[in-house]
Homo-oligomer: A and B are copies of this chain.
Amino acid sequence: MSEEPVKEEKTCDENCDACPSAHQCSLPKALLQKAKIDVKHVILILSGKGGVGKSMVSVNLAFALANHDRKVGLLDLDFHGPNIPKMLGIEDKRATVLGKGIEPIYAAGNLAVMSMAFLLPNTSTPVVWRGPIKMSAIRQFLNQVNWGPLDYLVVDLPPGTGDEALTIAQSAPNVRGAVIVTTPQDVAVMDAVKAAKFIGKLNVPVIGIIENMSGMICPHCGSSSDIFSRGGGKKAAEDLGVPCLGAIPLDPEMVKAGDEGRPMILQHTGSPTGKAVDAVMENLVKLVEST
């Protein structure tokens, strides 16, 4: 009989409660149950590349659904750059604890918002978190925010196919699908196709693709310049066999709306950009309401 000590078993037995490293584990399998949030449809807004306009789409879609008398939650999952509150002009609000849960901030009577920004001391505090802590925070945002019963939860994700996107796709109930935002430039479209394949692997359908920054109208001469090229989003949608929800131009008016906390969809300016946003959002509402 050998006198070698029995080697310790190093594989995961999925019993997180007995594991000394559960609090810093990337795959706490026992925690991957669906979160307890009362919502009929969860819609994920994602992109491959950053800076393509995900938050602008999230904000305008949330208001479009709220305007259709739906009870809507808007969840900002960009922990490192939580810009949704700034885009709604509510960046100075702070979340409060009520009963057993956190109270969301209301941007309208039927539109509740939650963001890391509401939990930070000020707008310049960085969130220096690794993946597993973000995973735990996402589950808290789903389970412990007093959302009440929701028709829709619109989730604004950071760019890419990392921890945040994986966690929400796996732990949110009733994920209706993902909207992928891209600019028409090659590198953004390439990353949008990656994002579509990623979400497909998680068995989440792509609701459609939005082409943002599609041409720019010069405020001086009124000519259109295809600064980030044009048509890339439409082509990606065709290649992937998913709907193209429309194109939105790059417009200083839109950037200003974001910086000033006044979503385009509420402004009714009648400008070409305003009309484009309205049309894309109506396409999207029709698609998600049709099931």
A residues lining the B interface (CB < 8 Å): 8-12, 18-27, 48-52, 55, 78-81, 83, 86-87, 123-134, 158-163, 166, 183, 185-188, 190-191, 193-195, 197-198, 201, 216, 218-221, 223, 225-229, 250, 252, 255-256, 258-259
7 A-B pairs within 8 Å (CB atoms) are namely A51-B159, A83-B190, A130-B166, A158-B160, A187-B258, A227-B255, A228-B252
Copies of this chain present: 2
Closest Cβ of chain B to A133, distance in Å, is 7
Partner of A201, one of B9, B126, B133: B126
- Check A130/B128 contact, CB under 8 A, given A80-B48, A218-B218, A225-B252: no
Task: List residues of chain B with CB within 8 A of the CB of A162.
Answer: 79-80, 129-131, 134, 162-163
Q: How far is the CA of A8 from the CA of B22 in the complex (A)?
A: 13
Contact call B191/A81, Cβ cutoff below 8 A = yes
Contact call A187/B87, Cβ cutoff below 8 A = yes
Q: How far is the CA of A127 from the CA of B125 in the complex (A)?
A: 29
- Check A20/B9 contact, CB under 8 A, given A51-B52, A218-B218: yes
